[in-house]
Amino acid sequence: MVDIDLSMVNWARAQFALTAMYHWIFVPLTLGLSFLCAFFESIYVRTGNKEWKSITRFWMTLFGINFAIGVATGIILEFQFGTNWSNYSWIVGDIFGAPLAIEGIFAFFLEATFFAVMFFGWNRVSKKFHLFSTWMVAIGSNLSAVWILVANGWMQNPVGMAFNPETARFEMQSFLDVVFNPVAVSKFVHTSSSGFLFASLFVLSISCWYLIKGRHIQMAKKSIVVASVFGLLSSSYVVFTGDESAYVVAQKQPMKLAAIEGLYKGQTRAPIVAAGILNPKKQTGDDQDPFLVKVEIPYLLSLLANRSLNSFVPGIDDLVYGNEQQNIEGVASKISKGKTAINNLAQFKQARKENNTQKADISLKKFKENQEYMGYGYLNKPEDAVPPVAIPYYAFHIMVALGSLFPVLFAVFLFYVLKGSITQKKWLLPIGLVSGFLGLLAQESGWAVAEVGRQPWAINGLLPVHMSTTNLSAINVQITFFMFLGLFTILLAAEISIMLKQISIGPEEGH
Amino acid sequence: MTFQTIKKNNPIKAVNTIFGFYRDGFRGMVLGKKLWAIILIKLFVMFAVLKLFFFPNYLNTNFITDKEKGNYVLEQITMDTTKTNQNDLINTKPKFK
């Protein structure tokens, strides 16, 4: 029998969050900036105007800096899988092997060929082939992101697999089910479009800085036109993909939806909380009001969750303690079934050791009856199935508020830049300048919604986080946590300093 | 040297052209040299320091065969689940609406 060191689990969790959130600064910028470079270059190739070439090369340089600093930061996550999360990495190895291998191969060939042409090929290859390479980098980078999101989507909604009790692994039964998992699909479209949005804000932000300083005005205006059009389209699309994401979450991870809305008691014709402050004393199952103050929009949560104004949306209490009227099974019953499944699995293992085929077959049959509840068997009490509500709640509302603001911002910038009066709008330029940081905040908030909101699960319903870790002492993870903190701080400082220097040089000499 | 050479269908010239493309590209870098230095230092720190000394693959280090690894993980996930008092679960009163 083994005892899990919970402080180790929390340090491993913190380390993973630190690495993933740091990695997540670079990824969305790469996804979006690659397309913006392709747009700038397309205009250059179409018009033959050298100014567009200069603009393309400038943004391509910033894309290169972001890529160079960000590249391989995701590999650290894989180190952590092997060391801190060995149970998890063994259990999911068969599922994740294919998508991650495809992602690795894709990235390698992309980087070795088209990236080289993109950066070394000016004046060495034809204009059209260079443009083709830039587009391939944009398309390839985004396709590369598909696979990691397929893996993440599977963790949120495990499909297309079967658990093999002999090997203790989930084995893939249908590659197509894994790839076209609704959570993976909605994740990809929402994540990539939010990356386009963030990159557009990044371009807007730097262009506004030039306008404030009165430098490179034509380049800044042209960049704002392209970024505003792309930003307006992608931010409008993000609203739709966000709606689809919320719908999928409601269907597949109702506890996450309840947490991000701070909904404890389920409701028919449920309103959405537009803004509100959570009551910090609120506990699952008590009668306290979950909010100190809130502003609601009637019916909207029911519409969002079920596409029906009159539908019932379960709250945390319904999901934890059950709701007979709505046919929702409580967690206590699932814990009992989960423990039965785990005990049957243990008996199966013992019977195999003893070469007792008959006993093994009976145990296996019993295990299969309850295996879908296996993860619940590792929880100690029903309330353990509830994620920490405050983080996903506030992160979700920050993300949605900013996501609603961005289309308006892009529309205003596009209007004034096309009107030719953008430089006179002194009040607007500082807003544009800070918009890049707001974009980053929205990105990181989105990550927190997705990952904190699915706690306590590493694999939804099947494996909680605390059972996914390696049986290590907390001190081992603490040491590497602070090492990463140091490394990431240095790398981030390097990126910011190189980028600022390059921005200060500007488009003409920036290559 | 241009990519026109590739069109002549001469594999050796094609390889030389591609090699020259990369060589000249790397030589001509200005900011790129600094970025490559950062990438190489980063990769060194990651693989030669972090991976080697701080992030051994736990299962690969402690077990040889897949069977051993599977047995170990199976033992981990079938460990003591009796920490929860079953009576506590039974006594959890579902709060039906």
pLDDT of residue A4: 55
Q: Which of these ranges, A80-94, A324-338, A397-411, B4-18, has the smallest mean pLDDT? A: B4-18
Of B59, B81, B88, the CB nearest to A381: B88
pLDDT value of residue B80? 58
Q: What is the spatial distance between Cα B91 and Cα A242, in angstroms, rounded to a whole number?
A: 40
User: pTM of the full predicted structure?
Assistant: 0.88
What would the pLDDT profile of A112-127 be if each residue is shown by its tens digit?
Answer: 788 888 888 888 889 9
Return d(Cα A72, Cα A204) in angstroms, integer.
27
Q: What is the pLDDT of residues A68-85, one digit of tens each?
A: 888 777 788 888 888 888
- The 10s digit of each residue's pLDDT in A351-389 is 988 888 899 999 999 999 999 999 999 999 999 999 999
Give me the residues paired with residue A297 across strands. A272
A93 touching chain B per CB within 8 A: no
A137-194: per-residue pLDDT in tens?
999 888 888 888 898 999 999 999 999 998 989 998 898 999 999 999 999 999 999 9
Nearest Cα residue in chain B from A286: B95
C-alpha span between A208 and A229 (Å, rounded): 16
As a whole-number percent, the residues of chain A with pLDDT over 90 amount to: 68
- CB proximity A480 to B under 8 Å: yes
pLDDT of B89 reads 41
Say yes or no for a CB contact (<8 Å) between A467 and B73: no
Smallest CA-to-CA distance from A330 within B86, B82, B95, B87 is with: B95
Distance between CA B5 and CA B16 in Å, rounded? Answer: 9
Q: How many CB atoms lie within 10 A of CB A477?
A: 27
DSSP-derived letter for residue A374 is G
* Cα-based angle B48, A82, B37 (whole degrees, multiple of 5): 30
The band of B83, judged by pLDDT with boundaries at 50, 70 and 90, is very low
First and final C-alpha spacing in chain B: 78
Q: What is the pLDDT of residues A480-507, one digit of tens each?
A: 889 888 888 888 888 889 889 989 988 8
Which phi and psi (to 5°) does residue A312 adopt?
-95, 135
The residue in chain A having the minimum alpha-carbon distance to the alpha carbon of residue B44 is: A72
Contact residues for A357 (Cβ-Cβ < 8 A; gap 6+): A351
For A389-421, the pLDDT digits (tens) are 999 999 999 999 999 999 999 999 999 999 999
Contact A340, A363 (CB under 8 A): no
Inform me whether the pLDDT recorded for A108 exceeds 80.
no
pLDDT digits (tens, 9 = 90+) for A238-276: 999 999 999 999 999 999 999 999 999 999 999 999 999
Dihedral angle of Cα A331, A336, A340, A343, to the nearest 10 degrees: 100
Asked if the model's pLDDT at residue B96 lies above 50, the reply is: no
CB proximity under 8 Å: A 289-348 to B: 317-318, 321-326, 330, 332, 335-336, 339, 342-343, 345-346
Q: With bands split at pLDDT 50, 70 and 90, how would you rate the model's confidence at B84?
A: very low
